[in-house]
Structure 1
Amino acid sequence: MAFDLLESGEADLVAVHHGERTMSRGELRIASRRAASFLLELGVRRGETIAVWLPDGGVWLQLFFAAAQLGVLMVPVSTRFKQQEAQHVVDTAKARVLLVPRRFLDFDYAGAAREIQASSDVLQHVVEVSQFDAFEWDAYEPYSKWEGRDTDLLCTFTTSGTTGRPKLAVHTAGGIARHARNAARFNDMKVGDVVLCALPLYGVLGFVQAIAALASGGTCVLLPVFKAQAAAEAIERHRVTHFFGSDAMMDMVLNAGDSSLATWRRGAFAEYASLGQSVIAQACSAWGVRLTGLYGMSECLAMTAIGDRDGDAQQRGLPGGTPISPEISFRIVDPVTGAPLPDRQQGELQLRGYNVMAGYLNNPAATAEALTPDGWLRTGDLAYADGGGFCYSARMRDSLRLRGYLVDPVEIEDFLARHPGVAAVQVVGVHIDGEGDVAVAFVRNSSTPATEQELLVWCKQGIAGFKIPRRILAVESFPQQDGPNGVKILKSVLRDMAAQTLGVAQHSSATREVHHEAS
């Protein structure tokens, strides 16, 4: 049995801190077995599916380990979803049980769940959880039989759904357990270490860091709602050693106030807000933490690759890195022919290994499109190989074909960001019929702003003519959205803004995005 992440280690070791509550490994183990008995009483059997629309807490973890014990698939639903979005997930999963909080924030989850049930032919039970931050079902005897297998489908993660309705990437129990142990080992997590889990468990990065902490005998500090000051205080209070998240989260915590972050030892981030070099410099100078970039996604689990923390600041900030296990393979292929490409030549990143999803749940057509016949995951990401690792460049749908040249928008962004008048920059493409792609840059001004004409002259002096943006537009802020793995810049909104500025029908940019997503 590979999925014994709670069976090893001392029972009295702390597994979870949640507010004022502390839960030991032994308590979580027994609580999970009680949850298994409860699910069996509802009629749930191996191979069936439950949906969990709950905030992070003891019950979420209790149900996850109960599902592993029974050979049941658990489908987490984002607590940010409203009724229609949640219904899509529940219907796609064909869940028999939906568990919801009795109260959380200002949304009536129970009422929405009952309406979902009324329109479903499969959903049989809606279960209201009274205290999601504690354990439930104390009256049940712990179920003693282990029915789970490594090959069981255990957990799903929702894809972004930027060009269509979200899909559910499903992973096996064996793959999750192996990745948890490898992520813990790669990040030097040990018994007694403490991981700040400031990202939600329904998101793949929040999930992986929590399950890795438990696999190592460490402790999770759960924060169901992220607030920078509370996160910084939690690091000091619980003597946190590991913290992973987005660059924006790191920036907010580093600047949150007077809390000491001196126990923080290891960390890595996904860069969404162009703050990577800033947080690398600040974390190192203030607390001696050598942050790195990382790579992962719902289809291949978070922390698939992590940067070299012994490299210089520029190297550490590169997205991508070295796979955390020799059991994870990657290759870079020509996006058109599928032929493997040599080092330093940009193409599509493909991955293979235990960490790759079994498929998209109940969506064989999408699965066939995402996986090659020999088991490689088509990530849809542009990257290049560099020795034993790789560097992520951009989503293929974000790449630009400028006058026949394939250009990564980051190339233009990096150059513009060097100008003293630019605090941050994002570049998108607009497709013009008869001309092809043109680049448009959006900049947040520094304290000494530059005019559009000054920035265009700067570009003409420093980059190839075909890379020069058609327009450079100043904005107060970039459109963004909180996601399960951190704040993301909404490139699609910027494309629409760019298209409107250039007088191009907005359907042109939308059509282009769908085309690249399908590729």
Structure 2
Amino acid sequence: MAFDLLESGDADLVALHHGARTITRGELRLASQRAASLLHELGVRRGDAVAVWLPDGGVWLQLLFAAAQLGVLMVPISTRFKLQEARHVIDTAKARVLIVPQRFLDFDYTGAGREMQANGAGLQHVVEVSQFDGFEWNAYEPYPGWEGRDTDLLCTFTTSGTTGRPKLAVHTAGGIARHACNVGRINDMHMRDVALCALPLYGVLGFVQAIAALASGASCVLLPVFKAEAAAALIEQYRVTHFFGSDAMLDMVLHAGDFSLATWRRGAFAEYAGLGQRVIEKAWSMWGVRLTGLYGMSECFAMTALRDPAGDSHQRGLPGGSPVSPEILFRVVDPVTGAVLPDRQHGELQLSGYNIMAGYLNNPAATTQAFTADGWFRTGDLAYADGGAFCYLARIRDSLRLRGYLVDPVEIETFLTQHPGVESAQVVGVHLDGEGDVAVAFVCHSNTPATEPELLAYCKQGIAGFKVPRRILPVDSFPQQEGPNGVKILKNVLREMAAQSLGLAQTLSATREINHEAS
């Protein structure tokens, strides 16, 4: 399966909308061939790595297709990264070329690139881009021929790095192309549909939805800096049919103001902020959109699995789902013995298929640890199987072992939010010597707040004793961080807060640490 997703279809079909610019598939293809000529002139050859530190735009995609044409690895860097973070990615990838914007977000990308070039042995060229919404290098002749192969390493995605420095999960051209086609098919994407791409392309969810749209003959509306009102206005202006993101992002768009979202037909979300059921109900009641949960990570692509949009609101909101292709297999195993578990029993989710990364770039030790002896990818996620689908529960390191019982913190969180005094809740664990894990809850109060003794009494009356939190602490908001796929609640910060509430100097790990990360 060739990655050249622009080769088929009408060259006059719109590929991208960015600001006032409209770009056709034919224009994107020609621009990519010109970018391939630039890279070749700089000495880039098959197997080399090119780092792209750019905002979303025509140039970003121009370089992706140029890399595919040459058999070159593209290494995207988050535009939110600063010098040391970007240096780590470039050094890990051993990139020979870095492409940067002259101006974006009041940060001197060019200066940072020049400093890395001066101090690093491998980086040979820093190429400045004057504008990123259109195309660059128009004076170059198109590069002749197609040298790329399905087995070429084409693109990396940075892992979250919550227990160490981020790793680069690398995927092949063939795997990306196959997944793009499958995601487009499962989401009913067709020629002349329109996808709002409001997540950054350097993140796996933003990347997958954009490439799936192009593979389906649909167009992408790019929004490099997300603002809810701007997103809602673009949905109305371009008659957007597909929109994917985090639960918080979709919630903000649904509450953005007096905009028509009537053309929005399909969407799915990763639930990071506990707003899944709210966005499902709001999208259905206002616009008749049947939103679903999704599952994915850097190592296995976003939208590896999706919930059935025909299900009821509760089923559609469950994280996980059925794989988007029969080529993607899953199993749930006992984290200690490795034995495959029957349906409904909790264990580690493991995956196999074309969607799995080729490995962590230039990190063979981490790659070896990420796979079982029989070749399955260890997700590090707690889940259970349910027929042909699976349900994601938590990261294994976020699950709790309370008096010998493995407990999903979401179960306690859900129970707490049923109390009229609680708007939202997060539960983490702290390990106490001689006692084991204990649960600590953090709650955002509703308009009728409840005291800690009241909430503890409520828990003692309604859930098993071993699940009752040791403390239930009020907070104005949960610590959060904006990542490439949306806003995530920082469980590690909550663990520190929980440890301090119990009089500990530092957080002691509540769960088994694993040696690979999900994004």
**TM-score for the superposition, normalised by structure 2:** 0.99
Q: State the alpha-carbon separation in 2 of the partners of residues 258 and 58 from structure 1.
A: 30
* Equivalent position of 1:504 in the other structure: 504
- Counterpart in the other structure of 1:198: 198
Deviations 1:428-471 (A, max 9, x none): 00111111110000000011111111111110111000000000
Q: What code does the residue aligned with 2:206 have?
A: G
Aligned counterpart, 1:419: 419
**Corresponding position of 1:515:** 513
Matched residue, 2:24: 24
In structure 2, the residue matched to 1:344 is 344
Q: Which range moves more in the overlay, 449-458 or 212-221?
A: 449-458
Q: CA deviation at 1:478?
A: 0.4
Segments of 5+ residues of structure 2 without an aligned counterpart are: none
* 1:36 matched residue in structure 2: 36
Provide the rounded CA distance (Å) in 2 between the counterparts of 1:400 and 1:478: 19
**Residues 309-338 of structure 1: per-residue CA shift (max 9 Å, x gap):** 111111110000000000000000000011
Quick check: 1:396–1:517 contact (8 Å CA) kept in 2?
A: no
Cross-structure match for 1:353 = 353
* Residue aligning to 1:207: 207
Number of aligned residue pairs: give it: 517
Which residue type is aligned with residue 474 of structure 2? A
8 Å contact from structure 2 (residues 150, 175) kept in 1: yes
Q: Which amino acid aligns with 1:133?
A: D
Instruction: Tell me the CA shift for residue 116 of structure 1.
Output: 1.1
* Residue in 2 that maps onto 1:48: 48
Separation (CA, whole Å) in 1 of partners of 2:2 and 2:354: 13
Q: Distance in 1 between matches of 2:373 and 2:223?
A: 41
Say which SS state the counterpart of residue 89 (structure 1) adopts: helix
Alpha-carbon displacement from aligned partner over 1:39-84 (angstroms, at most 9, x marks no partner) = 0000000111000000000000000000000000000000000000
Q: Aligned residue for 2:454? A: 454
Q: Name the structure 1 match of 2:288.
A: 288
Distance in structure 2 (CA, Å) of the matches to 1:243 and 1:136: 28
Query: Shift of the alpha carbon at 1:507?
Result: 4.5
Q: Write the mapping of 1:368-407 to structure 2, written as runs, cut at 5 A.
A: 368-407=368-407
Q: Give the letter aligned to residue 319 of structure 1.
A: P
1:432·1:504 contact (CA, 8 Å) conserved in 2?
A: no
Alignment partner, residue 117 of structure 1:
117
**CA–CA distance in 1 between the matches of 2:431 and 2:19?**
50
Instruction: After superposition, give the CA deviation of every residue in 1:95-134 in whole Å (9 maximum; x if it has no partner).
Output: 0000000010100000011111112111100000011111
- Within 5 Å, which residues of 2 pair with 1:300-379? 300-379=300-379
Moved runs in structure 1, 4+ residues, more than 3 A? Answer: 516-519
Residue identity matched to 2:165: R
Equivalent pair of 2:399/2:511 in contact (CA under 8 Å): no
Q: Is the aligned partner of 1:106 residue 2:120?
A: no
Matches for 1:206-285 after TM superposition, within 5 Å: 206-285=206-285
Q: How far does the alpha carbon of each residue in 1:120-171 deviate from its partner, in whole angstroms, 9 at most, with x for none?
A: 1111000000111110000000112100000000000000000000000000
Deviations 1:354-402 (A, max 9, x none): 0000000000000000012322110000000001000000000001111
Question: Tell me, what secondary structure is at the counterpart of 2:351?
Answer: strand
Cα 1:400/1:513, change in 2 over 3 Å: closer
User: Which sections of structure 1, spanning at least 5 residues, go unmatched?
Assistant: none
* 1:269-319 Cα distance to aligned partner (Å, 9 max, x none): 000000000000000000000001000000000000000111111111000
| Counterparts of 1:278 and 1:312, CA distance in 2 | 14
Equivalent residue runs for 1:472-511 within 5 Å: 472-509=472-509
Aligned partner of 2:428: which letter? V
* Separation in 2, partners of 1:2, 1:515: 39
CA distance in 1, matches of 2:381, 2:206: 21
Equivalent residues of 2:270, 2:294 under 8 A apart: yes
Q: Do the aligned partners of 2:52 and 2:75 also contact (CA within 8 Å) in 1?
A: yes
Q: TM-score, normalised by structure 1?
A: 0.99
Partner in structure 1 of residue 409 of structure 2: 409
2:190 counterpart SS class: coil
CA distance in 1, matches of 2:322, 2:354: 16
1: CA distance, partners of 2:511 / 2:84:
24
- Report the Cα distance in structure 1 between the residues aligned to 2:254 and 2:389, rounded to whole angstroms: 29
- Indicate if the aligned counterparts of 2:366 and 2:515 stay in contact, CA closer than 8 A: no
Q: Is the 8 A contact 2:396 2:511 kept in 1?
A: no
Distance (Å, rounded) in 2 between the aligned partners of 1:260 and 1:380 = 40
Q: Once the two structures are aligned, what percentage of the paired residues are identical?
A: 79
Query: Offset at 1:506?
Result: 0.8
Q: Which amino acid aligns with 2:89?
A: V
Give the letter for the 1:268 counterpart: A
CA distance in 1 between counterparts of 2:350 and 2:266 reads: 27
Tell me the distance in 2 between the aligned counterparts of 1:318 and 1:266.
17
Amino acid at match of 1:26: G
Residue type of the alignment partner of 2:394: A
Q: What do you get for the CA RMSD once the two structures are aligned?
A: 1.0
Distance 2:329 2:342 in 1: 15
